[in-house]
């Protein structure tokens, strides 16, 4: 029997521990870390003619580029650890994002300074999200897992990537 004078949190931890002992896990929890970065880029595909690039990308194909103040949300999913109550330490997630992403993209020209885009990948927000996923997916300590990368290029333009 679980004593009734325990806090709800303590009861949940005990319940989770008991359920794990018999092979039943509590529901998945998502933790989300939000960061911001500023970066410049030019939407231009080396596989298209200059005319096609201008037609498809419009003013975003400006040869001098343009910039954004991006908002990044990284979602990590997992079961809270029965000892710590955390899916993963969010302070560790902050460091991983800084080391693997922000140090490489913040106040940079993506097309000229980030190897992934220097290889001819068009620096659309879709591809920025995929790049960020690739930078993070192997760095998240198990049993937690990277669940989603969400990038706001503007208040109205948002991309979500789930590694699919």
Q: Which of 41, 44, 104, 153 is catalytic?
A: 153
Verify whether residue 41 is a known catalytic residue: no
- Let me know: does 129 contact 159? Beta carbons within 8 Å: yes
Verify whether residue 107 is a known catalytic residue: yes
Q: Which of 64, 79, 107, 148 is catalytic?
A: 107
Verify whether residue 52 is a known catalytic residue: no
CA distances for 25 relative to 22, 59, 153, angstroms: 9, 51, 37
Q: Which of 35, 60, 79, 113 is catalytic?
A: 60
Q: What is residue 101's three-state secondary structure?
A: helix
CB neighbourhood size of 90 (10 A): 12
Q: What is residue 67's three-state secondary structure?
A: strand
Contacts of 74 (CB under 8 A, 6+ apart): 32, 33, 35, 93, 97, 132, 136, 146, 148, 149, 150
- List the catalytic residues: 60, 107, 153
């Amino acid at each position: 029997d679980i004593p009734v004078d325990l806090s709800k949190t303590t009861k949940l931890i005990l319940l989770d521990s008991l359920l794990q002992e018999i092979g039943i896990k509590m529901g998945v929890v998502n933790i989300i870390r939000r960061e911001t970065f500023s970066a410049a880029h030019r939407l231009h595909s080396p596989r298209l003619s200059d005319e096609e690039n201008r037609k498809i990308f419009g003013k975003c194909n400006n040869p001098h580029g343009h910039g954004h103040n991006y908002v990044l949300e990284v979602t990590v999913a997992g079961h809270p650890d029965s000892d710590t109550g955390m899916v993963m330490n969010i302070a560790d997630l902050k460091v991983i994002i800084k080391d693997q992403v922000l140090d490489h993209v913040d106040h940079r020209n993506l097309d000229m300074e980030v190897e992934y885009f220097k290889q001819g990948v068009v620096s659309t927000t879709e591809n920025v999200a995929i790049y960020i996923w690739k930078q993070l997916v192997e760095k998240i300590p198990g049993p937690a897992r990277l669940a989603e990368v969400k990038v706001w290029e503007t208040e109205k333009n948002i991309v979500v990537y789930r590694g699919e």
